[in-house]
Structure 1
Amino acid sequence: MEKIRILHTNDLHSHFEHFLKIGRYLHEAQQDQTVDEVLTFDAGDFMDRSHPLTDATFGQANIKLMNAFHYDAITIGNNEGISNSHEVVEHLFDHAQFPVVLANLREEDGSMPHWATTQKIIKTKKGTRIALIGLTAAYPLSYQPNHWQVKMLKETMDEVLPELAGHYDVLILLTHVGLNMDCFLAQNYPQINLIVGGHSHDLLKQGKQVNGVWIVQTGKWGNYVGNTYLQLNDNHQVERISPHVEPTSLMKAQTGDEETILGFRKCGKEILTRTKVANLPEKYEDNCEAAIQVSLDAIAAFAGTDLAMLSSGLFLTPFKKGVLTKYDLQRALPHSMHVVRSTLQGSDLWRLVMEIEKNRHYLDHFHLQGMSFRGKIFGQMYYRQIKFDPVSRVVFVNGKEVDPQQEYQIAVLDHYVLVPFFPTLAIVGNNKFLFPQFLREVVGNYLAQKYPYQGSENHDGKPSAN
């Protein structure tokens, strides 16, 4: 008989307030002498650019802290693969002391990323061969413009499984695809023993069994740590899987934890504050509408359009007059969203505006989670160069009534394509996702040109030529 203990995390999202407790728990559990083997995995979205330290270090602070967790393998989530530029991802794991298992992501030329491996075999002390396959959410519309090839799950599994046949006793998937897709994998590939999942933030306290396959997830933000036991017979066959989770809230804190956690944020703030972006005039002082209007101009210029739209809930803090730093922008717009240039027929643009106006009062106070949104409420929608007459239900573009047959381009966010409130964008919009800059970088670059900072450093933190 053999007993294996699987420790697992997912969707930590840079919630560093839990990292110290999690690290101590993992370290103690990894010394467990009551089992034959302890393995530790993470299922992606361990970083989130909404935290200033992650943003300032491009995720390197996360890697340093995670090295102390002694993972045996991880996979990546969309916050690693999409919320960073291609260049950042290429160097994200330069100092990682754990393998990255990822079967469905390739470089633009089809080659394997140098920092990842398709699959991995771990051999336990008792000779059990454990095969690991990593899968991340397949979002071609986002990965392709960021110079990656992402492969669909079925295509990937049908390719990898024959290569592994006969080389393993236990098959474990590390997935960042969400519970629905984990269930799909379980239904279609019953040879899987265990799926350590993430992405959908489901808390499965005792796991979920589908078609004989166990699926485990620990919710989000490090609120829980997964603690799953596998019992195998002498032929290395799984006889029993017992999933559990451990609440981080019940793990003991130590003196100095709070100071250390505050120090993470303070360090990120100090780094970001060093970079001066722009010098804003008086009209921006605590004026959220002015911030929205200039941001509409910014995304329109970036997308090369006259039209644009943004929601007020994106702006967590207003801008201020005087020197605007990268930290100020990070606080105001922490979301890892990208600009999308959507091409619509005039009749479809009219329909989009009708969808917005129909939902306007509902969205004003709607509490929204997910889809890269890091605020609290959706808020009011603002347009650039679009007017709506509620009496006649006429939409005006650049002062003229919209032409149903004419083609229009509007700058939006990937967020608006994903949310269910504006189906026109997703259904009939010809949408081009624009990478690598995301929203606050687009706004910051625009402000740097419009209101240049004339200090000793420019907005990139490099010495000024003046």
Structure 2
Amino acid sequence: MKIHLLHTNDLHSSLENYMRVGHRLRALRANLTASKEVVWTFDIGDLIDRVRPETEASLGRVNAAMMRALSVDAWVFGNNEGLTLPSSVWGELGNLANTRILCANLQQLNGQSFPFFDRALILSQENVTIGVFGLTAAYPLAYQPLGVKAAPPFETAKEVVQELRGKGCSVVICLSHLGLFDDRVLAQRVPGIDVILGGHTHHFMHEPEVVGHTYIFQAGKHGRAFGHVSLEWVSDEKRVGSVSVELVEVNEYEPLDRAMLAAYESWRSEIDTVMGKQVAEIPERLEVRFRGESAFANLLADALLANYDAHLSIMMSGALTASLLPGRADQYHLLGACSTPTRPVLMNLTGQQILSILEVGLQPEIQMKLGKGFGFRGAVIGHLAVAGAVIYTKELQDGQHVIEKVMLAGKEMNLEGVYRVATCEYLYLTHTFPQFQCGTEVTFGAPMVRELLVNYIQQENVWEKANEIRYQIDSTVDEEESQ
């Protein structure tokens, strides 16, 4: 007997591609079912991404409705579902998708399971019992302010595998949104998993990796492909025999799945109503620059500092992907200009660490470096915008800038002093600014930075403040340097 596992991962609200995948996947599944084969369909997380207006307006409900149209048997939440959507909508998403949400290592803060999550799922077919469970990447600090406990995935996996084997499961499958590197570790540390269907790291795998007796496979990102894993069940020996995999690539000419398209279109009116709501009246052009200071980036830093008790805030202008023109600005405009789901992070840093971060941020090669991962949704990192500080820099003969001093609340920053800094999770987690990771007393904020921005620009007197210069540049060159 053959067991077929069809799986998607990391769609990130690429909704058109999702419908193309759906058309191809549905046809394959129908052919296999017609041949009396056993078929299960899974999603491995990050189906949702609030960069997309439809997802933003519906808090993922449109994605869930499309999943329902596709008929998916189980869904493991990725970090985009877990960290960018309030837990109050999680249960509704499962109901809308008409599927089981498998997320064994996300719990309530008291350690109790969420009622809408399943620790595992047991599927029976003919003479074989299959246990399926899900794991997601654990970011304990980020989940805590959301009222969620992220349990260690490897320890959780050991417990669940023992439970499933104890209940008579002959085959154990893990739906893992941990990433390929952690999937390898999982296979090494936790015996008894037959197949790991992965996601999170966006690997396009044409062949499986085999670690011990565990097969690992992942199907890329953004709906450019889906996975098809076939297990040969040896009934007489009650074990998995051969395992074959296929990365089923889907091109842009593939037809859209009609049922999924109908589900999508049923939400259009509500989406336009929500996203068309006016947020603010912009009095003047709000420009964003990636090389040098700009009012829009300053406004973003101001919004961050206004919401937290900190000495200063630091944000990258690359979190903004467009300038705003004068006039009416609605939710569509704000999402288009600031689509990142990055959230606030607060920490204590020394004056020397802050100075090092700002000096790195002045380098042109850093400002034009491509941003990647950790909620980054723009192109380049851009200029480091600050609020609560004035930075005095000096331009050297070669065009480079050095920082002479940093003023905080009218006083020069003490390099040995300790200051509370508000920043975002991208800057905290990226290796481009390693000094952020030296911070102490680190806490995460619950709202996304762009949600703070939307609320902040509705206040009065924010525009003039955004135009205040934070980087004072002395362009004179010392005589000694010019000789």
The whole-number CA distance in structure 2 between the counterparts of 1:438 and 1:333 is 11
Alignment TM-score, normalising by the size of structure 2: 0.86
AA aligned opposite 2:391? K
How many Å apart are 1:402 and its aligned residue? 1.7
Q: Is the 8 A contact 1:107 1:148 kept in 2?
A: yes
1:405-432 CA-to-partner distances (Å, cap 9, x unmatched) read: 3221222111101110111111234321
Residue 395 (structure 1) aligned with residue 395 (structure 2): no
Equivalent-residue separation in structure 2 for 1:346 and 1:337 (angstroms): 25
Q: Deviations over 1:18-62 (max 9, x none)?
A: 122222222222221335201111110000000000000000000
Q: How does 1:115-194 map to 2 (within 5 A)?
A: 115-124=116-125, 126-166=126-166, 167-194=168-195
2:480 maps to none
Worse overlay, 332-341 or 289-298 = 289-298
In the aligned structure 2, how far is the partner of 1:98 from the partner of 1:446?
38
Alignment of 1:232-251 (within 5 A): 232-235=233-236, 236-249=238-251
Residues in 1 aligned to 2:97 and 2:265: alpha-carbon distance in whole angstroms: 22
* Aligned-partner Cα distance in 2 for 1:262–1:290: 37
Q: Deviations over 1:300-342 (max 9, x none)?
A: 0112224112222221111222222111111011110101122
Secondary structure at the residue paired with 2:342? coil
Spell out the pairing of 1:38-437 with structure 2 (5 A cutoff).
38-124=39-125, 126-166=126-166, 167-235=168-236, 236-249=238-251, 252-253=254-255, 270-282=272-284, 284-286=285-287, 289-357=294-362, 360-384=363-387, 385-390=389-394, 393-398=403-408, 399-435=410-446, 437=447
Distance 1:254 1:277 in 2: 34
User: How far does residue 66 in structure 1 lie from its aligned partner after superposition?
Assistant: 0.5
Describe the superposition over 1:364-401 as per-residue Cα deviations: whole angstroms up to 9, x where unpaired: 22222221111111122222214143477433122433
1:199 aligned counterpart, secondary structure: coil
Conserved in 1, the CA contact under 8 Å of 2:65 and 2:97? Answer: yes
Matches of 2:179 and 2:59 in 1, distance apart?
25
Q: Distance in 2 between matches of 1:63 and 1:379?
A: 34
CA distance in 2, matches of 1:6, 1:122: 12
What CA deviation, in whole Å up to 9, does each residue of 1:103-142 have, x standing for no partner?
1010122211121110111001x22111011100010011
Return the offset for 1:196: 0.5
The DSSP-based 3-state class of the residue aligned with 2:334 is helix
TM norm structure 1: 0.89
Q: Which residue does 2:6 correspond to in 1?
A: 7
Report if the CA contact (8 A) 1:351-1:424 is conserved. Answer: yes
Q: Secondary structure at the match of 2:459?
A: helix
Indicate how the Cα distance of structure 1 residues 266 and 381 shifts in structure 2: closer, same or farther if over 3 A, else same: farther
Give the aligned CA root-mean-square deviation in angstroms: 2.5
In structure 1, how many angstroms separate the alpha carbons of the residues matched to 2:380 and 2:360? 18
Q: What is the number of equivalent residue pairs in this alignment?
A: 446
Q: Quick one: structure 1 residues 265 and 373, their matched pair in 2 at CA, closer, same or farther if it must change by over 3 Å? A: farther
* Residues 267, 368 of structure 1: alpha-carbon distance in 2 compared, 3 angstrom cutoff: farther
Deviations 1:75-104, CA, capped at 9 Å, x for gaps: 000000001123233533232211111110
Matched residue SS, 1:93: helix
Alpha-carbon distance in 2 for matches of 1:347, 1:116: 45
Identity %: 28
Please say if residues 57 and 275 of structure 2, whose CA atoms lie closer than 8 Å, have aligned partners that are also in contact: no
Mean Cα deviation higher: 188-197 or 401-410? 401-410
